[in-house]
Amino acid sequence: MRPARWTTRMVFLFYSRPVFRAWEVFCNHTARLIAHKERMRSLQFSREWARLNLWRMEIQRGLGKISDSHAHVCAACGYCCKGTRERDAFLDRVMQNPRTEHLGARRRRGEMVGIVLARAEGRLLHLDAPKAQGCCNELTCHGCRLPRELRPMQCLAYFCGAAVKALSQEECEEGIRLLKELLKLQWAAVKLALRSRWARS
C-alpha cells in the first residue's frame, strides 16, 4: 500500500470536514424550506428522488469500501457514533422515502427511514448484538445496524486525521472524488426541491 501524500490527506480532510459539513447544513435547510411538501411526494417527483437515491447509494458504497481500511482506527475510537442525537437529515429521509412523515430539520420521534427500509428488506445487521449505551440509537456493540448505503450521508462522509492517515494514496484520491460527487448530489437535491415549489400541480 502506497501511503497517501500529506497534501492529498489535507485535501481529503478539507472536503470531508469544513466543506461537506457546511454544504450539508446549507443544502438540507434550503431544500427543506423551499420544497413543496405535497408536490414533492407526487409520482413524478418520487421518481426523481429515487434516481438521486441510487446515486447516493453508489457514492456511499464507494465511501464504505474506503472505510474498511480505517475500520480498526474507528473501532478503537468510536467518537463519531457517540451521543444520542439523531444523525439523519431532511435529504437523507426524503431521498430514501419521499412520503416520510419526518419533514422537520430534526427527527424527534419515530425511526430512521433507513432502519424501516432495512427491516422491511431483512437487511438489518447485528440483530442479536446489544445496543451501545449513550450512543446513536443504531449502534450495537458489534457496529452499526444499518448497511452502509442506508446510513445518513454524514456517517460515510466524515473522516478525521487519524482515519485518513490509515488510507493509501489511491483511497484518498477516490475519497476526494466521492466527496465531490456527494456535494453535487446534494445540490441536485436542492434544485429538485426548488422545482417541486414551482411545478404545476
Q: Which residues bind ligand SF4 (CB under 6 A)?
A: 73-74, 77-81, 87, 136, 138-139, 144, 146, 151-152, 155, 158-160, 162-163
Type of residue numbered 186:
Q
What is the SS3 assignment for 144? Answer: strand
Minimum CB distance to ligand SF4 smaller for 41 or for 87: 87
Output the smallest distance, CB 76 to ligand SF4, in A.
7
State the Cα–Cα distance between residues 97 and 54, nearest whole angstrom.
Answer: 12
Output the smallest distance, CB 78 to ligand SF4, in A.
6
Cβ neighbours around 18 below 10 Å, total: 10
Output the smallest distance, CB 188 to ligand SF4, in A.
23
The cell for 81 is 457514533
Q: Which of 6-12's residues contact partners 24+ apart within 8 Å by CB, and which partners? A: 8/169, 8/172, 8/173, 8/176, 9/161, 9/164, 9/165, 9/167, 9/172, 11/172, 11/176, 12/159, 12/164, 12/167, 12/172, 12/175, 12/176, 12/179
Output the smallest distance, CB 34 to ligand SF4, in A.
27
Minimum CB distance to ligand SF4 smaller for 64 or for 98: 64
State the Cα–Cα distance between residues 67 and 72, nearest whole angstrom.
Answer: 9
Minimum CB distance to ligand SF4 smaller for 63 or for 193: 63
Output the smallest distance, CB 45 to ligand SF4, in A.
26
DSSP annotation of 5 reads P
Minimum CB distance to ligand SF4 smaller for 107 or for 151: 151
Minimum CB distance to ligand SF4 smaller for 48 or for 149: 149
